Structure 1
Amino acid sequence: MGIEKLYYMQSTPPRLQNPESKLYYACRSQPEEYELVARHVQLLSEVVGHHFDITLITIPQRDALCESILEENGVHGLVTVAALPLYFLQIDNDLFSMDAPVPSRQLCIHNDTAILPQVACGLRHLSQHMRASWSRVVCAGHAAADVYTLMREFDKQDRRQAHSGDNGDNGDNTSPYTLLLFDRRVDMVTPLCSQLTYAGMLSETVPVTCGTCEVPTPPASSSAGDASSEKDAPRKLQLSAEQDHVYAKLRDVNFSNVAPILKSFSKQMTKSFDERNTNDLTQLASFVKRLPALQGQSRSLAAHVDMSVHINRIKSTDVVTEMLEAELSLVMGHGKQLAIEFIQELICRQFNVNAVLRLLLLLRITNVVSDKAWAGLKQMTLHAYGYKFLPAFSAMESVTDSSAVNAHVLTQLRKRLSLAVSEDDAPDQVLFGMHPLSSRFMATLASAQHDSDLADLQLWFGADTPFAVHTDLPSAADASQKPSNDVVVCFLGGTTHAELTSMRSRLKAGDFNPIFLTTDVLTGDGLMKGLYSQFT
């Protein structure tokens, strides 16, 4: 027996023809998904009049919330609950993600730490799979400290099981790794800024799930009529530098450099396909062997060309350029009044509400705004977009209070970290005119051996934001005491593609071999939806 058919979760249950069919639901630990499964079970029992064999697979672990929701809906006895310990999914050659946008937003915006035990479990599973031992754990932020505390408890349990003989893995032959736990709330400025890399702009213009997106249909072909209906069918694109050579070249470059790279690939493809015209049988045989790979690369090239056209059409407007300049003004601390006037102009034009909220939150985090000025901006926004966005302003106040970066801290960081991009680096910038905050001190975190190495960061951020180096995990005794250049960076609350690009460059320049883990790959608009999505 095997899988007969796969269904997406919808409001109504699937139609099952065979009463002997077994039905499996796989969903993450979200109340809405559990409620939907319970509703499906009720409808199948009432309408069909038959109790199917139903199994609910919760990812990544079972929780009491699932059991209680099933009990409240009276279907607990009709469903078998199981767990699939699927924590971090590899979505790129050096990037693993939990792909959990809702819990990540809840951590950043509402200080909901429900995802942290899952992160700690995921790190334990990952270390066992990699046969890694955390020789050093560097924590930045409160969520990082909480995850480290959970890791200590899990590690002690594993050691007790190993000593009692319940676990055959005694920790021998493990490789030492440095683990960096980074709380997103230490730097809430970077995800609010517009990204300029190809991967970053792609994620901000089309939905990306588990490293996969749909390629938009080019405008020219959409009007070609029924003859092109097959060609215009949605195309899935796997965004993996390991599997897609075109994406590997495009991923980390500034979008202004994309066209020359695509042109170079196009010339190479033309030259390769011209080899089919040869009369030499040996060369022809070689071409035939390479033909499947060439065809795959050709499809990839066409998809990225269409994607680039789509991005360029959306991003190459005057208002986007003005938004970039406003973001730079707010972060670098000059032209605040001009930025406020630009925000007011966007509100009067009823521009995209997520873009307006991004600038408002960036203004509140990076600058001192009087109560009168903020009340005026709030009133303008609610009149333009409706009072359904009133909870967004309450959430922005919560984000501002929990953010480690404020106007005072940012003043210190501007002086110490050289945030402005030099003219020589301008063609490769990942944010407009500035470096991501977190990437400027990531090398310091990676090389820190003791708490004293983080004294400057602690001084700049203040005592309210904890920075610490830990070497007292029980399993750390099994690892070599020699400092390791193998670094695992774990983002609690998510990270952006622009941030990853900058960190890859800085960590590799410091002779580190980074692997990145994240609860989600963020975009500014996606983060803004967490301000009001619970109420709209």
Structure 2
Amino acid sequence: MSKACTLENGVLNLAVLREDSRRELFSILDSIGKDICFVLDPELNGPLNHVLVDGTAVLKDHGVKDFHAFGKTVKTSCEFVLFLVRPSVRAMRYVAKYIRDLGTDKSASSKKRFHLYFVSRRTLVCDEVLKKEGVFGSLSVGEYKLDLIPFDDDVLTLELDSCFKEFYVDGDKTNLHTVAASLIKLQTVFGMIPHVKYKGTMAKTIYQMMAHFQREQEVAGNPIGVLDPEIDTVVLIDRNVDLVTPMCTPLTYEGLLDEILGITHGFVTVDAELIADDDAPNSGNRPAQVSVPLNSNDKLYAEVRDYHVERLGMNLQQQAREIRERYDEFRKNRDASISEIREFVKRIPGLKQSYQSLQQHINLAELIKKTTDSK
């Protein structure tokens, strides 16, 4: 089961975007068949966790029998093989290798049918690589528009980690189309955004792409964003407008977690002992490291994530004092009625969850302090 944010407390109903991505993926699978080997680009594993919040087991309901990741040997008896990838030369070479290996598998009972879907845009470069590898005619190609991914109640991401390098080092502007299309999608769902401000040449290009598409749709009689706008203003800023800030050490709790431990797809990976439940049995099967979700599902984290690190300790102490007082108050009340006891018992799961969350963040805060004090 995924620990992705429930998206229940946002100003915007971002769950609509998540559900749209789920439906599109299920539609792709249903259109292929009922005997599918799903081969996933590892770069998409994290983003998909925020779409398939019920876990990948739900894919079985849509024909997926085998599930593999790039980089590993793929052997399958499935008739259909689906590759879901980012558009990169590396991914295309993997796809070509798998097609050749599976296509020449003499133990297979039937001929394989290959399907390749790009997230979220197909490129000419990838087509050319597939042609040079001699496999372009062996598969059908499509696009899966997994663009705006809700990570939290107020956070949407495209997860395009290499776009800065592509823009300014490689001169590849392909992802500008992805950004513009995602903003158009946002307006289709939440209404036309009346005020758009931009800073930088890339931001200006995205604005022009959006405006051009909007004019085309109006001429065609299909205006976008006909609903009352739920977003008043969007601000587009080029990263190179401020290259200093990313080099500065942050002093907020969330900023230091990312600086020291690294937040990836809304999760931080730590040693299991760091967040172990003191009341849990000591099992030898416990993993060495675990992924901890950092989102608004955790009410304490939502409260303290932006605190200055010096303020954080005082707040956590206050939280611990309040939880302890709740328990002590009940213990002292020896004459509690049955209804009062029942009411306290109902509160125990919430108190236990609050205690576990508090203990987890105390441990993380101590780890941060040790690291910062040593530098």
Letter in 1 for 2:219: R
CA distance in 1 between counterparts of 2:368 and 2:66 reads: 32
1:177 is aligned, of 225, 229, 232, to: 232
How far is 1:286 from its partner? Answer: 2.7
In the superposition, relative to structure 1, how do residues 110 and 254 fare at CA in structure 2: closer, same or farther (>3 Å)? farther
CA distance in 1 between counterparts of 2:273 and 2:219 reads: 59
| Structure 2, unaligned runs of 5 or more | 1-33, 35-58
1:124 is aligned, of 173, 177, 184, to: 184
How far is 1:85 from its partner? Answer: 1.2
1:42-57 pair list within 5 angstroms: 42-47=100-105, 50=108, 51-57=111-117
In the superposition, relative to structure 1, how do residues 284 and 220 fare at CA in structure 2: closer, same or farther (>3 Å)? closer
Name 1:509's counterpart in structure 2. none
Name 1:258's counterpart in structure 2. 312
Per-residue CA deviations over 1:150-201 (Å, capped at 9, x if unaligned) read 111211222123x2xxx48672534562221101111111111111111111
8 A Cα contact 1:216 1:307, kept in partner:
no
8 A Cα contact 1:217 1:306, kept in partner:
no
CA distance in 1 between counterparts of 2:93 and 2:370 reads: 40
Name 1:148's counterpart in structure 2. 207
When structure 1 is superposed on structure 2, of 117-126 and 299-308 the one drifting more is: 299-308
2:95 is aligned, of 23, 37, 55, to: 37
8 A Cα contact 1:218 1:310, kept in partner:
no
Answering whether residue 215 of structure 2 is matched by residue 159 of structure 1, we say no
8 A Cα contact 2:253 2:312, kept in partner:
yes
In the superposition, relative to structure 1, how do residues 290 and 63 fare at CA in structure 2: closer, same or farther (>3 Å)? farther
Answering whether residue 130 of structure 2 is matched by residue 70 of structure 1, we say yes
1:23 is aligned, of 78, 81, 94, to: 81
How far is 1:126 from its partner? Answer: 0.7
CA distance in 1 between counterparts of 2:125 and 2:299 reads: 43
Name 1:213's counterpart in structure 2. 268
In the superposition, relative to structure 1, how do residues 252 and 70 fare at CA in structure 2: closer, same or farther (>3 Å)? same
Answering whether residue 360 of structure 2 is matched by residue 306 of structure 1, we say no
How far is 1:93 from its partner? Answer: 2.3
1:230-269 pair list within 5 angstroms: 230-240=285-295, 242-269=296-323
Name 2:8's counterpart in structure 1. none
How far is 1:275 from its partner? Answer: 7.0
CA distance in 1 between counterparts of 2:258 and 2:66 reads: 26
CA distance in 1 between counterparts of 2:316 and 2:79 reads: 49
When the two chains are superposed, the root-mean-square deviation of aligned CA atoms in Å is 3.1
In the superposition, relative to structure 1, how do residues 136 and 44 fare at CA in structure 2: closer, same or farther (>3 Å)? same
Letter in 1 for 2:252: T
Q: Highest relative contact order (Cα 8 Å, sep 6+), 1 or 2? A: 1
CA distance in 2 between counterparts of 1:153 and 1:205 reads: 43
Name 2:54's counterpart in structure 1. none
8 A Cα contact 1:22 1:54, kept in partner:
yes
In the superposition, relative to structure 1, how do residues 10 and 173 fare at CA in structure 2: closer, same or farther (>3 Å)? closer
Per-residue CA deviations over 1:233-274 (Å, capped at 9, x if unaligned) read 43322211x311121122111122222222223333334455
Letter in 2 for 1:204: E
CA distance in 2 between counterparts of 1:5 and 1:316 reads: 51
In the superposition, relative to structure 1, how do residues 68 and 102 fare at CA in structure 2: closer, same or farther (>3 Å)? same
TM-score, with structure 1 as normaliser: 0.51
Name 1:99's counterpart in structure 2. 159
8 A Cα contact 2:81 2:113, kept in partner:
yes
Answering whether residue 244 of structure 2 is matched by residue 189 of structure 1, we say yes
1:4-15 pair list within 5 angstroms: 7=67, 9-15=69-75
1:323-338 pair list within 5 angstroms: none
Q: Which has the higher helix share?
A: 1
Letter in 1 for 2:140: T
TM-score, with structure 2 as normaliser: 0.71
8 A Cα contact 2:267 2:293, kept in partner:
yes
* Same amino acid, percent of matched pairs: 23
Name 1:89's counterpart in structure 2. 149
Per-residue CA deviations over 1:22-58 (Å, capped at 9, x if unaligned) read 4333222232223222222222223465443433221
How far is 1:316 from its partner? Answer: 1.9
CA distance in 2 between counterparts of 1:156 and 1:168 reads: 8
1:428-439 pair list within 5 angstroms: none
Per-residue CA deviations over 1:421-467 (Å, capped at 9, x if unaligned) read xxxxxxxxxxxxxxxxxxxxxxxxxxxxxxxxxxxxxxxxxxxxxxx
SS in 1 for 2:193: strand
Name 2:173's counterpart in structure 1. 113
1:290 is aligned, of 347, 350, 370, to: 347
Per-residue CA deviations over 1:288-333 (Å, capped at 9, x if unaligned) read 433443343333333323322332332222xx3xxxxxxxxxxxxx
